Chain A
């Protein structure tokens, strides 16, 4: 029984603890408004939840006020039905309540309000301060720097209203900001137009619109990167109205921008948010396993192949033609792949074979105006893209069978002999492809001999002719 009573006591403590601090009138209002589900519907069919968290209200600077101090049209027995065209109209009218106590003279002392008051539009106090959870802004104007000034509000859970009815958080984590690469910058370096003197009011349709607008700040310093993004597939998608295409802040974050290039795992994970399937394949690939399991920093991450900013359409012909070049960035360098027992001949053997030669000439042709007839096989056509697996230690028959399937993508009539046409990146030798090796070796001897023979014969003939004459 004692235990049961204790549980009941604890269970009721939260409510009692809150309601104890509330006035009788407040309690009466909260009988309904502390319960979720009271929805106010506006004439334009927008809606607003009339829920009020008692704890939030109690923590606010206005907790001593009676509900009717602000909501003067309401009382214990009077709860008129009011009609508003929209949420915005409702908020503007609600802000008039604030202005009864906080007159223009008072609020204009704070420069942050100047921009709001000078717009000529009615200011909406709740956009920044909220409604029932308003907290005191301390500092009294004695700020040593701009950051302190801004953070007096933005280290709190301040939000802004969006036209779609949602709220956009505007809180900034001071520690993250200090730890970021931009820790030494002033707020207005990025938030151009905002300062201790100005704080224009801005309205955004959605949170995404806010993100897109915010990312524009980056170009003021990173113009080179910004111009690269203008050529990227992400920007193309964005300009086509696909607003989910990533912008600067989606990959780098906003106030917590970390140094790039040091931690390649983080770099790969940035892309995962949108490209989960590709990321999963990569994580299981020979490259991904080395990165995530062994923390190998030699293996490529997304940006090594796709680049960080000039991200091209990977299905474009231009991109495809650069794939051998991308692979050769590592597989053509002994200092990178040599330590894993991999040969740099893989690049050379591809480039000197039919496909490699054709590809090289196709690339030149584009500049000359002659259009390539068809795409040519590149590294990824045989090895795959994100899910590249190691062929080391694999069964030769399985490798050949897989190769045949890949050959058949372009050469549907290829039979089981056809993959042997490709020497699998090996240079011909007596052990591998002896016929090819012997043929090449014989000509290497024969051609110089024949040239020497011809030249000697000609010289002797001319000499004899000259002597006889």
Chain B
């Protein structure tokens, strides 16, 4: 029995690094423009060489980010079409049910947390939030960068509208990453101090059983129940039924 499983390929690790770097630069150079009245934003703008430099860096990084997004979508489309990738990030109705189930679990009306496959519902929502937000940012960023070209095809109102969409969506994406992603990848009690899988490419079997039980069962050609019964010591308490309360058997994938 393996003690760890390959979760991300080298390409995905590189892609994450690229997104991490470009996203960080875009956030710093973008939000400092949005919140230009704040002292910290002004300090940053002045120290980077002025607003023109900040915009230049932001736009240059935006191109890199756009290319990374395009590459990701292209690779995912090809991968899925040629059956080399599982469409494991597609949101299904089970994800909605799992979200409701988990809230019930947190509130104490369910004994088990929802079991997930390769990606749980929070990761899927986060992924699609970032992807759709990213696409919106790319499109509106292009309009803001080249307003003269944009107004050749559409009314001028697209420019202030793009500004509203771009800056607000930036804030949404930033909040998704800064609050939700950072919590789940760093500060969540189950992973603290860091979920290293996106950097190493591997996830321990224990963590797989903990966070992706259905995926583990699929890989090991087993069932969640078998995994629990055969190796209860590897299953963290979150996966185990609570001692009190009515039994609530886990849902099949």
Contacts and interface: CB of A to CB of B under 8 A. Distances in A.
A450 B50 contact: no
A469 B237 contact: yes
Given A362-B51, A364-B42, A468-B242, A417 B154 contact: yes
Instruction: Give chain B's interface residue range (CB within 8 Å of chain A).
Output: 35 or more
Contacts of A373: 52
Nearest to A359: B51
Contacts of A292: none
Interface string A324-357: 0000000000000000000000000000001001
Contact of A372 (B36, B50, B155): B50
A437 to B, nearest CB: 9
A415 B103 CA distance: 54
A365 B51 CA distance: 8
Interface stretch (A163-171, A300-308, A454-462): A454-462
A370 B157 contact: no
A391 interface: no
A439 B165 contact: yes
B160 A443 contact: no
Contact of A361 (B45, B155, B179): B45
Contact of B160 (A423, A450, A457, A465): A423
Interface stretch (B62-70, B72-80, B167-175, B200-208): B167-175
A460 B107 CA distance: 7
Interface string A358-394: 1011101100101111000000000000000000000
Interface in B222-248: 237-238, 242
Interface in A229-259: none
B49 interface: yes
Q: Which of B106, B163, B175, B180 has the most CB of A within 10 A?
A: B106
A418 interface: yes
Interface in B64-96: none
Contact of B175 (A358, A422, A451, A463): A451
Contact of A450 (B151, B175, B183): B175
B42 to A, nearest CB: 6
B161 A436 contact: yes
Chain A interface helix/strand/loop/mixed: helix
A224 interface: no
B156 A421 contact: yes
Contacts of B168: 439-440, 443, 447
B147 A418 contact: yes
B100 interface: no
Contacts of A417: 151-152, 154-156
Contacts of A415: 148, 151-152
Nearest to B238: A468
A450 to B, nearest CB: 6
B179 to A, nearest CB: 5
Nearest to B151: A417
Contacts of B179: 451, 454-455, 458
A361 B35 CA distance: 12
B52 to A, nearest CB: 5
B160 A428 contact: yes
Given A357-B36, A450-B175, A421 B147 contact: yes
The 6 A-B residue pairs with the shortest CB-CB distance, nearest first, are A420-B156, A370-B50, A443-B168, A421-B159, A460-B106, A421-B156
Given A361-B42, A370-B46, A436-B164, 9 more contacts: A365-B51, A411-B148, A417-B152, A421-B147, A439-B164, A457-B180, A461-B188, A464-B108, A465-B189
27 contacts: A362-B51, A364-B42, A365-B46, A370-B46, A371-B50, A372-B52, A373-B52, A411-B148, A420-B157, A433-B157, A435-B161, A439-B168, A440-B168, A443-B172, A446-B172, A447-B168, A451-B175, A454-B179, A457-B180, A460-B103, A461-B106, A461-B188, A462-B189, A465-B189, A465-B190, A467-B108, A468-B242
Interface of B: 33, 36, 42, 45-46, 49-53, 103, 105-108, 122, 147-148, 151-152, 154-161, 163-165, 168-169, 171-172, 175-176, 179-180, 183, 188-190, 237-238, 242
